[in-house]
Amino acid sequence: MSKIVSALVSLGLLAHSVMAAQMRSRAEGVPGVLASNTVGLGDIWVTGGMSSYFRIRPVANDVLSKSVDSVYRDDFRQLYGSGNKLQRDLLLVPNVGAAIGLANFLHLEVESVPWDGEKLGATTARLKFTTPGNDNLRVFGLGISLNATLSTEEDIYSKGETTPGFDPLLYFSVMADLDWIKIQPSLPVKVYLNYSGLDDYRLAHAYTQHQIRFAAEYKGYRKGYYLRGSAMLYKPLATKFNPEPGKGFLPTLFELGAGYRTIFGERFTFTADVSLDPVNPLSFYSKEVSKPPKIQVGIEAPLVYNETRAEAIRALIFNEEQRKRIRALAARNPAPKSTQKDSSAGPAGLKLDEISLEDQKSSKGKDVLKGVLDDTEGEVTEKRKLIRSELKQIEDLLQ
């Protein structure tokens, strides 16, 4: 078999793998940045992962000095000063979560930290709504979520006695995204934009918070790469550490992250992410409000899954782009005549220039994707069956 045919076989096998029944969530965002979509009706997705973070909190001087013998307290104050100090702990904590589709445009999502290094961590529940067209592969999507975070942090900031944890925090988030694959199938890029009224629940009693996040992802069918960024505004509240705060906001905080996502086993999605403050990467050593370097990994898989129409259409687009590449390669590098003769006598009498998503007669001069993006779910399923069948013929022919 010639090198050309070998290359075509490899591309054919790749196209076949593309059409495997992958289980992928249409609500898939990137870490910390939500997509506007919701999961399919009745679908149940579970997530798990690990992340690093620095626990940073102030310690009053009188509390700190009590840890020193009374004979040495004056020396301690002279050595360390009389102001408040910061306690910093580097931790690696687990996180788990789940989402269930309640309707085609609505899902409930819960995420929790089982252990934060000292105690049970916080739990956040989100009820997410999205706009009509959620089941289609839409160019522009818009969603909103109502959030409740059950904090386990003690309130060390408020004046008076320290209160116990389990303080519920209510806030909302807005998310929008642009899926460019619907406009240009050869460029599967998705852009996300989020706003939230809370950034760090541990500082909720010390600062009013506003968070804006964005991300751009090359959303390939089996793997993807993304770049994300955040801008956070913090306004000090009156605390026992700062009884008379100013009226203005602190200087804007920034966070920049990058990550990689891949699908393996047709069922599991693995994500790795790293981030830091690009302006002041070491500020967490001296500032209570900061964005320390962070590493996180996660895995996502469905417990109950019915392929949504949006992901079925995405699969068809990726397959069509792969088919175009196969035909373009065959056109640029035609096989020797002897190979062409053997190919024409294949088991199905199929020639490379006759490869199509439909029969030659019905598809000649027709845009293959015409009608696909607005087909009913049944028609999309039939098209996928036909694609798999024809790709199997190509694979058998070229072996």
Residues of the chain with CATH 2.40.160.40: 95-306
Contact 300, 46 (CB under 8 A): yes
Q: Is the pLDDT of residue 78 over 70?
A: no
pLDDT tens digits along 268-295: 999 999 999 999 998 887 888 999 999 9
Say how many CA atoms lie within 13 Å of 197 toward its Cβ: 11
> Which CATH code, of 3.40.50.2020, 2.40.160.40, 3.40.50.300, 3.40.50.920, is assigned to 95-306?
2.40.160.40
Higher-scoring residue by pLDDT: 301, 6: 301
What is the pLDDT confidence band of residue 82, given thresholds at 50, 70 and 90? low
What pTM value is reported for the model?
0.76
End-to-end CA distance of the chain: 8
Q: Is the pLDDT of residue 13 over 50?
A: no
- Of 365, 335, 337, the residue nearest 352 (C-alpha): 335
CA distance 312 to 374: 12
Mean of all residue pLDDT scores within the chain: 81
